[in-house]
Amino acid sequence: MRLLLFLLLFSLPLPALLAQNGVPPIGGARATGMGYTGLTFTDINALFSNQAGLAGLERTTATAFAEQRFLLAELGSYSFGFALPTSSGTFGLSLNHFGFENYNEQRIGLAYGRRLSEKISIGAQALVLNTQIPEYGSRAVATFELGLQAELLPQLQLGIHTYSPVRVSVVGSEYLPSVLRAGIRYAPSDQLQLLAEVEKDIDYPARAKFGLEYQAAEPLLLRFGAATQPTNVSFGVGYQVLQQMRLDIASSYHEMLGFSPAAGLAWEF
């Protein structure tokens, strides 16, 4: 049964897997719990979701994140991120590993985000991606991503991001995905945030994503989300363990393949 499920996974369209063949890793367990949104994040998770959000960091911050797709050890994704704010902008380092012994991917990224004005931030990340299959060796390619955030109103934030806008060949006619995303965050109060995003891979139908984050208590955040193409629902919690450390736990549910649990830690120095 496990083998059949694994074969089914790799027969599905790319967006159903959400992390293979060069697709960028998601913005931590926080994004998982909010329907894989994250274009308007301004914490360390912006290192993966939209580098323009790094401009919002005030302290040196690190994060570690892990996700197990559909409860299969072979589909484990592990990420580490580090961001250093300076007077010239925020610099970041991201690392990601996905896969298992017979097929795995690694990525390393150098990111930068800064404010252009009080209400506009931009960001970028240069990436090197390596795919390794023992029987065939490894193949490394380079690409980049760009992002922007803008405050439209005091309660309304816009996020735009493009991943690998220039087509990059991995092998022959196989290309890295080129993805354009746009979304908004509406915060009617200090306790509630509502997110809505649209994602378009040039090779696949557009995907809509929705997220909600509610601060139920001073240290506790509750999160819910949903996405289409394929249909996913998700939920999660964030807990301020210490003054400088936050724990995020989440899971998404795929209508055919089941649960994908995720967990992450973020700490400020």
pLDDT tens digit at each of 269 positions of the chain: 444 444 444 444 433 343 455 677 788 999 999 999 999 999 999 999 999 999 999 999 999 999 999 999 889 999 999 999 999 999 999 999 998 888 899 999 999 999 999 999 999 999 999 988 888 888 899 999 999 999 999 999 999 999 999 988 887 778 899 999 999 999 999 999 999 999 999 888 999 999 999 999 989 999 999 999 889 999 999 999 998 999 999 999 998 889 999 999 999 99
Cβ atoms of 134 and 102 within 8 Å: the answer is yes
pLDDT at residue 134, as a whole number: 85
CATH of the domain at 68: 2.40.160.60
Range of the structural domain that residue 237 is part of: 2-268
For every residue of 70-123, DSSP letters joined together read GG-GGGEEEEEEEEEEETTEEEEEEEEEEEETTEEEEEEEEEEEEESSSSEEEE
Look up residue 89 and give its two tokens. Answer: 């902008």
d(CA 115, CA 112): 11
Q: Strands 76-86 and 61-68, how do they pair?
A: antiparallel
- What's the total number of domains in the chain? 1
pLDDT at residue 126, as a whole number: 97
pLDDT at residue 1, as a whole number: 43
pLDDT at residue 6, as a whole number: 47
Cis peptide before 230 (omega within 30 of 0): yes
Distance set, CA 225 to CA 36, 42, 75, 240, 253 (Å):
8, 19, 22, 21, 10
